[in-house]
Amino acid sequence: MRANCKRIITEGTGCVPVSVLTIGMMDNNCMIVSDGREEGAPAMVVDPAGDAQAIIKALGWLKLEYIVCTHNHNDHLIALPELVKETGAKVVAHVADCDIIESGQPGYFGNWDAVAPVHVDVKVKDGDTIKLGSLEFEVIHTPGHTKGGMCVYLPGFDGKPGILFSGDTLFRGATGRVDFEGGSAKEMRASLRNKLAPLPNDTIVFPGHEGLTTIGIERRRVIEAF
């Protein structure tokens, strides 16, 4: 079953523009970021939820180089097999979540959310970087939702705030669940306080679900309260 994109918002307040596709049966956020907007500019998709063809359409003339999976849950990976087949982009995931991604997963709610096995080309760890043209994103390992859950951070430049793709680690006013297999409240607390709290207050957070927020806002109501 295809679940076409419900809306696309291009957020330009951070250090680079990010297109956010609200897509899939669970209203996931799928992000597209690129080093420039000209034809052939290198691009990265974060969390390929929903419909691969809708993502490809949103990419337009950009050249997809990386598909980043912030964690191994089905709803964030549904478009991954087709997107890889159509674009040849390299798949990036934390080493602790790669086995499940490479093994494939049956659907939790029927066939629509089943995910076929996909090879992970770039297996990353905490502190690794993902280079996209002139941009250099930092991998921040944030277990708690899954063992290999991670965020991807681009520091601010040119006087504009940095951006954080937080997956299901941090939402607007909440965190991801810790009661699934591989989840841990203790690890989530450490991830929030030791990994995300040190980021600048004005860092714009692009979560895996719901609306955008900032580290400063979530430090007060989530990170320090968890």
Q: What is the pLDDT of residues 78-95, one digit of tens each?
A: 999 999 999 999 999 999
* pLDDT at residue 1 in the model: 38
Q: Show the domain range for 56.
A: 7-223
Whether 87 maps to a domain, the answer reads yes
pTM to 2 decimals?
0.94
Query: For the chain, what is the radius of gyration of the CA atoms?
Result: 16
The CATH number of whichever domain residue 115 belongs to comes to 3.60.15.10
Q: How far is CA 154 from the centre of its chain?
A: 13
- The C-alpha atoms of residue 188 and residue 182 are separated, in whole angstroms, by 11
Whether 2 maps to a domain, the answer reads no
- Nearest partner of 101 among 86, 84, 112, 111, judged by Cα: 84
Domain total of the chain: 1
Q: Is the distance from CB of 130 to CB of 136 less than 8 angstroms?
A: yes
Q: Is the distance from CB of 208 to CB of 70 less than 8 angstroms?
A: yes
Q: How confident is the model at residue 3 (pLDDT cuts 50, 70, 90)?
A: low
Mean pLDDT of 126-145: 98
Whether 1 maps to a domain, the answer reads no
Question: What is the three-class DSSP state of 50?
Answer: coil
Instruction: Give 219's DSSP letter.
Output: I
- List Cβ neighbours of 142 (8 Å cut-off, separation of 6 or more): 149, 150, 151, 166, 167, 169, 188, 191, 192, 195, 196
Whether 67 maps to a domain, the answer reads yes
Whether 207 maps to a domain, the answer reads yes
Whether 143 maps to a domain, the answer reads yes
* pLDDT at residue 4 in the model: 66
